Amino acid sequence: MELWDALAGLGTAAREAVLAERCLAASVEGDGTAVSLGLREAALLRSFAGAFGARLRCLDDCPACGSRVAAELSIPDLIAVQEAAPACSGRMDLDGWRISYRLPTGEDLKEAAEASDEETAEQILRSATIRQISHPDGEISASDLPDGVAEALAERIEREDPLAAAEVALSCPDCGETWRCGLDAAALFAARLDAWAKRTLWEVHHLAMRYGWREADILAMAPQRREAYLLMDVP
């Protein structure tokens, strides 16, 4: 409930940043801002599972017929994919290029989000992640990488940090269309937290009206006990 209060009034981006920060603080030692985007998603999913259970429900509209389609995901399975990927840095050798890189972090993403256009944002992200480039022709900066090499590097980073840009495969039961939608753990967490907090406040309101109990005492009760009281007949 305290977390819900902290998120109130914030825009989408700020709300998700606060949520990610809290989840990282709970699961990572040291500075959470240096953690890769995939590990940040894993921390959000872990906290989500701790609060609401290990199943994640993902909703999207069918692009062909507009039907609402849901997919149920297992959070432990998603986290296992991330944990099986290498740590946080690596080296790529391609056509004479040798590039040392690290995986992008939440801090890099924040900087890139402030860029005026998409191309500049991509450049910022690339410069932040490349540590060193060597090529037989001499010194080359991150912004002068040929497109093919830059794409190969982006693909490599995506493979090594799978939850950073995770996608869910969906298929429509009404028309058979299949497509993929992005998995945004922070947005799903924020929506679920909001629904939970509103339901809990509704329970507090009704129990306080009926029995005159204090909010803190009602919140301290196990959810099933609150529900049992709410189901009792009022004389």
Residue 62 structure tokens: 């069918």
- Find the shortest distance in angstroms from Cβ 230 to Zn ion: 38
Residue 65 binds to Zn ion (criterion: CB under 5 A): yes
Choices 67-75, 77-85, 122-130, 156-164; region in contact with Zn ion by CB under 5 A: 67-75
Residue 215 structure tokens: 């909010």
Total binding residues toward Zn ion, as defined by CB under 5 A: 8
Residue 64 binds to Zn ion (criterion: CB under 5 A): yes
Choices 65-73, 89-97, 100-108, 133-141; region in contact with Zn ion by CB under 5 A: 65-73
Q: Which of residues 170-189 bind Zn ion (CB under 5 A)?
A: 172, 174-175, 177
- If the CB atoms of residues 80 and 175 are measured against Zn ion, the closer one turns out to be 175
Residue 25 binds to Zn ion (criterion: CB under 5 A): no
Choices 39-47, 61-69, 76-84, 203-211; region in contact with Zn ion by CB under 5 A: 61-69
Q: What are phi and psi of 146, to 5 degrees?
A: -60, 150
- Find the shortest distance in angstroms from Cβ 66 to Zn ion: 7
- If the CB atoms of residues 174 and 217 are measured against Zn ion, the closer one turns out to be 174
Binding site for Zn ion (CB under 5 A): 62, 64-65, 67, 172, 174-175, 177
